[in-house]
């Protein structure tokens, strides 16, 4: 097992097993001995990464920042080596009911705004930062109603967003925060009937997940081969297409980190990960 490349991932949905089992078979056919370990939450995964339990992590954007910031504190470095095309240039939206009297973000003063889980970049942290920078401060100017579904999974399951959307329709909140793709998806699936909502505000673009390695692994031949195989996958290949469809992409791209600036600003403003970093430091340093 010493030659096996191990990846850490979070089991936010049962399909995660199907996805990575498929990649395991594909990598084996390409001569790469690959396996994966699943964690119930990203905090446990980040800690395990620094504990040397695996070589590469499939990280949420918040988990990436947790890893990057702790690495700097520990005199180390984290690297984003690859990401999906669908991880780039996403936006979140603040929506209201179409018949709402709310016409601008200033009208949210004194209202209730539904968000996803507390640790969701897309449905809580980034849209709340957007509203704060637009002049309405969370908790001070409006009430934040959180839908804390599966804390620790960083909103990957989208359950909190769906609950916020339902609460908007039911009148329990006056506005709801969602990633733009889920706003469209909820409309298609019927959670949000066509024409029932409208977009009040939209954030600037940001990036989502990436494959993260630490400085000790960046030159590992297995990591290089792993990245090479990812970037070489073609959606036109009938063996590859089902795997890419399962993981929601058309092509793997180089990892980049400039797309996390909004989330960085949000966690700095709201103090989101400081307690985690402090606790991780006590355990790992």
Computed over every residue of the chain, the mean pLDDT equals 96
pLDDT attached to residue 157: 86
Judgement on whether residues 25 and 78 belong to the same structural domain of the protein? yes
Judgement on whether residues 142 and 196 belong to the same structural domain of the protein? yes
Judgement on whether residues 68 and 81 belong to the same structural domain of the protein? yes
Q: Distance between CA 256 and CA 275 in Å, rounded?
A: 26
Spans of the chain below 50 pLDDT? 1
Q: Give the count of domains, the chain.
A: 2
Judgement on whether residues 76 and 213 belong to the same structural domain of the protein? yes
List, as one string, the DSSP characters of 112-128: EEEE--TT-IIIIIHHH
pLDDT attached to residue 282: 81
From 202, 234, 258, give the residue that closes a domain. Answer: 202
Judgement on whether residues 44 and 117 belong to the same structural domain of the protein? no
Which H/E stretch holds residue 72? helix 61-73
Which string of b and e fits 124-146 if b means at least 16 CB within 10 Å? bbbbbbbbbbeebebeebbebbb
* pTM exceeding 0.85: yes
Judgement on whether residues 194 and 103 belong to the same structural domain of the protein? yes
From 202, 220, 246, give the residue that closes a domain. Answer: 202
Judgement on whether residues 189 and 238 belong to the same structural domain of the protein? no
Q: Distance between CA 182 and CA 164 in Å, rounded?
A: 12
Nearest to 104 by CA among 144, 140, 142, 145: 142
Domain hosting residue 141, numbered range:
92-202
Judgement on whether residues 158 and 65 belong to the same structural domain of the protein? no
Judgement on whether residues 83 and 152 belong to the same structural domain of the protein? no
Please report, for the domain that includes residue 243, its CATH number.
Answer: 3.40.190.10
Q: Which residues contact 120 (CB under 8 A, 6 or more apart)?
A: 154, 155, 160, 161
Judgement on whether residues 212 and 255 belong to the same structural domain of the protein? yes
Judgement on whether residues 136 and 100 belong to the same structural domain of the protein? yes
Judgement on whether residues 194 and 222 belong to the same structural domain of the protein? no
From 177, 202, 227, give the residue that closes a domain. Answer: 202
pLDDT attached to residue 285: 67
């Amino acid at each position: 097992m010493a030659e096996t490349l191990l990846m850490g991932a979070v089991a936010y949905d049962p399909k995660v097993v199907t996805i990575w089992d498929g990649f395991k078979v594909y990598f084996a056919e390409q001569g790469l001995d690959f396996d994966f370990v699943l964690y119930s939450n990203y905090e446990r995964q980040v800690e395990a990464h620094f504990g040397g339990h695996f070589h590469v992590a499939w990280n949420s954007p918040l988990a990436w920042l947790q890893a990057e910031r702790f690495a700097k504190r520990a005199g180390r470095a984290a690297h984003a080596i690859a990401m999906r095309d669908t991880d780039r240039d996403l936006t979140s939206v603040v929506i209201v009911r179409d018949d709402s009297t709310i016409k601008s973000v200033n009208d949210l003063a004194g209202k209730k705004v539904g968000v996803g889980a507390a640790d969701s970049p897309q449905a809580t942290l980034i849209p709340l930062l957007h509203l704060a920078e637009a002049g309405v401060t969370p908790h001070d100017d409006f009430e934040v109603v959180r839908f804390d579904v599966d804390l620790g999974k960083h909103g990957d399951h989208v359950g909190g967003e769906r609950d916020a959307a339902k609460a908007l329709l039911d009148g329990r909140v006056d506005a709801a925060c969602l990633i733009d793709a889920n706003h469209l998806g909820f409309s298609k699936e019927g959670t949000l009937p066509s024409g029932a909502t409208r977009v009040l505000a939209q954030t600037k673009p940001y990036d989502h997940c990436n494959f993260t390695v630490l400085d000790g692994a960046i030159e590992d031949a297995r990591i290089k081969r792993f990245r090479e195989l990812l970037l070489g996958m073609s959606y036109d290949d009938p063996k590859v297409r089902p795997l890419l469809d399962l993981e929601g992409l058309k092509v793997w791209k180089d990892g980049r980190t400039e797309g996390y600036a909004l989330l960085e600003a949000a966690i700095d403003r709201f103090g989101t990960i400081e307690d985690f970093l402090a606790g991780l430091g006590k355990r790992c340093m």
